[in-house]
Amino acid sequence: MSFGLYYHIPYCFSRCRYCDFYAAGGQRGVPDAYIDALLRELHRHPLPGAPDTVYFGGGTPSLLTPAQARRLIQAAAPRPGAEITLEANPETVDEEQLRGFREAGVNRLSLGVQSASDAQLRTLGRPHNAAQARAAFAAARQAGFANISGDIMLALPHYTRAEFDQTLALIQEGGAQHISAYLLKIEPGSAFGRRPPEGLPDPDQAADFYLYAVEQLARAGYQQYEISSFARPGFEGQHNRIYWDCGDYLGLGPAAHSCMGNQRFYYPPDTAAFIAGSDPVPDGVCGAEDYLILQLRLADGLDLAEYRRRGGAEFTAHQQAFLEHCARAGYLTLTPDHIALTPLGMIVQNSILEELI
């Protein structure tokens, strides 16, 4: 079983209006005291082996210096060929910095584009524009990155298919081998949650945008392998796959979650407390229901024999009838050994899960 290591970098230039992740705006870098705290916690936990993946998430991990990233990668001692991903905002990177990250060991870059519309980016509170996104892709290629991902947000205020097409073109022409495409969700703790923007699509319109995105991404050569993840063959993200397969992962940083030996825990969402040495908080176990929920995110779906091996209960007659109804309606494919949601089913995944759990 693969093992993944996650470093949370809770610093940003500014808070995006849709974001409820734990992060602090108004930052221009990452203090060395925070790097020291991450390393302290890394050495605190017994690891099951060399990490197969290392992921820098945030926040804005591209506020790290290459030297800081090198310290964290070297301390992790990932296996040869490990996938090492850094999330980056376009306005924070240039070719020299990206070369530094490549030399530090980063081999996969995830660029937060979201939209090719400058007006939309301003609405979202993103600090970059489309020209900076194009420049970031060019800089990444010049720096030697061959594994680049780009993010697209769907169903934004006053959204159109043309906006999606323009954003896909920007990312595709930028050389991305992987795309994350996901619907805008209004989170209660975000600025949008406190004051929703005008012009949001209704649920049916949002579903149509999602299905259009799946279709257009497939035509462009990006095959769906998870609800919001699309890739050219061989470029599927390996780190998140560990989460979806209920593998072992260690998350370090305030608000970072972990699951080691089926035991879940997390650090409190408090950067100062983390730097000072706060203890992680137990958060239960990863069981068969978690496996069902996470596997049904994947286009490959749920292997029922493995689900039962992990302690999953047999479906009741009512649940089986429900699944057969969903299959006839085009929401999933069903065999005696396997369940997989279709793109249409992925839109209503939560409703399907409510019937199965």
Given this model, what pLDDT does residue 26 score? 77
Identify the structural domains of the chain with CATH numbers, from first to last: 3-241 (3.20.20.70), 300-357 (1.10.10)
Task: Report the C-alpha gap between 218 and 139 in whole angstroms.
Answer: 26
Given this model, what pLDDT does residue 94 score? 97
Given this model, what pLDDT does residue 23 score? 85
> pLDDT band for position 189 (50/70/90)?
confident
How does pLDDT run across 201-260, given as a tens digit for each residue?
999 999 999 999 999 999 999 999 999 999 999 999 999 999 999 999 999 999 999 999
Q: What is the mean pLDDT of residues 272-283?
A: 97
Q: What is the mean pLDDT of residues 74-83?
A: 98
Q: Is the pLDDT of residue 1 over 80?
A: no
User: To the nearest whole number, what is the mean pLDDT of the chain?
Assistant: 96
Residue 81, both tokens? 């060929």
Side-chain-facing half-sphere of 316: CA atoms under 13 Å: 5
Residue 337, both tokens? 């050994």
Q: What is the mean pLDDT of residues 70-98?
A: 97
For the chain, the residue count is 357
> pLDDT band for position 22 (50/70/90)?
confident
Under 8 Å between Cβ of 207 and 340? no
In terms of Cβ atoms closer than 10 Å to its own Cβ (0-12, 13-18, 19+), residue 54 is buried
Given this model, what pLDDT does residue 222 score? 98
- Helix then strand count (H, E) for the chain reads 15, 15
Q: What is the mean pLDDT of residues 177-198?
A: 94
Q: Is the pLDDT of residue 25 over 80?
A: no
How does pLDDT run across 145-169, given as a tens digit for each residue?
999 999 999 999 999 999 999 999 9
Q: Is the pLDDT of residue 14 over 80?
A: yes
